[in-house]
């Protein structure tokens, strides 16, 4: 890894330059800069073309929610109240840690009892960097996109961000 401060060629994976002790873990200020001058991660989440979220109401059975996860090949469902406002999220990770081997009758248990309530959300106009930071900080793989009335309008995943960045570097 070449140090941006002194040009020393460090061993791969080093955190600091052996020559000048400059950190090698910070992203340079111009990383991801596009030809228009703005960074890729400064662009709005809308540019990721957020997927339409799979939504269920709070009283939907775990069995139905799990069937939707499998049937629609999605990693999470968003849980809404009767007015369509987001109240929770239920992920494939929840299935592994809260359901498998612990619950025998998934038909009788509502998703509300095992969902993560009040999930962190973003707006379509928020920068990609905000979602990326939240995902890294909290270990999220999905972030719901909501409108001004807290109704789900989209869903982005870590994979969406990575694919967007990859496409932007391959086809600038």
Considering its fold, how many domains does the chain have in total? 2
Closest by alpha carbon to 46, among 119, 122, 120, 118?
122
Q: Which domain holds residue 23?
A: 1-30
Give dist(CA 160, CA 124) in Å, integer: 14
Summarize pLDDT for 42-53 with one digit per residue, the tens.
999 999 999 999
Q: With contact defined as beta carbons under 8 Å apart, do 106 and 62 qualify?
A: yes
Both tokens of residue 130?
């905000």
Please report whether residue 164 resides in a domain.
yes
- Contact between 28 and 2 under an 8 Å Cβ cutoff? The reply is no
CA distance linking residue 89 with residue 112, whole number of Å? 9
Measured between alpha carbons, how far apart are the two ends of the chain, in Å?
A: 24
Please state, as a whole number, how many other Cβ atoms lie within 10 Å of the Cβ of residue 137.
Answer: 9
Nearest to 153 by CA among 161, 165, 162, 144: 144
Q: What is the helix (H) or strand (E) element at residue 157, kind and residue range?
A: strand 152-157
Condensed to tens digits (0 to 9), the pLDDT of residues 16-38 reads: 778 777 777 654 444 444 444 45
Residues 112, 49, single domain; the answer is yes
pLDDT greater than 70 at residue 69:
yes
Check whether residue 12 and residue 80 sit in a common domain.
no
| Residue 64 within any structural domain of the chain | yes
Q: Which residue has the higher pLDDT, 69 or 25?
A: 69
CATH number at residue 131: 3.10.580.10
Q: Read off the pTM.
A: 0.74
Is residue 95 within 8 Å of residue 119, measured between CB atoms? no
> Is pLDDT of 120 > 80?
yes
In a domain, 36, yes or no: no
In 37-151, at which residue ranges do the beta strands (DSSP E only) sit? 55-57, 76-80, 86-91, 116-117, 142-146
Q: Are residues 3 and 63 in the same domain?
A: no
Query: How large is the average pLDDT for residues 84-111?
Result: 86
1 and 52 part of one domain = no
């Amino acid at each position: 890894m070449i140090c941006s401060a002194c040009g020393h060629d460090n061993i791969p994976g080093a955190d600091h330059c052996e020559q000048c002790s400059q950190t090698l873990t910070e992203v340079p200020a111009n990383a991801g800069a596009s030809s228009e001058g703005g960074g890729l991660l400064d662009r709005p989440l809308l540019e990721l073309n957020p997927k339409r979220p799979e939504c269920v109401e709070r009283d939907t059975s775990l069995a139905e929610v799990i069937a939707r996860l499998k049937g629609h090949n999605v990693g999470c469902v968003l849980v809404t109240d009767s007015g369509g406002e987001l109240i929770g999220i239920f992920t494939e990770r929840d299935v592994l840690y809260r359901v498998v081997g612990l619950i025998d009758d998934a038909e009788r248990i509502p998703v509300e009892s095992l969902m993560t309530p009040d999930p962190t959300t973003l707006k379509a106009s928020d920068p990609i960097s905000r979602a990326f930071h939240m995902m890294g900080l909290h270990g999220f793989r999905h972030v719901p996109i909501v409108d001004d009335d807290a109704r789900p309008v989209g869903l982005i995943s870590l994979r969406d961000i990575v694919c967007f960045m990859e496409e932007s570097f391959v086809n600038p």
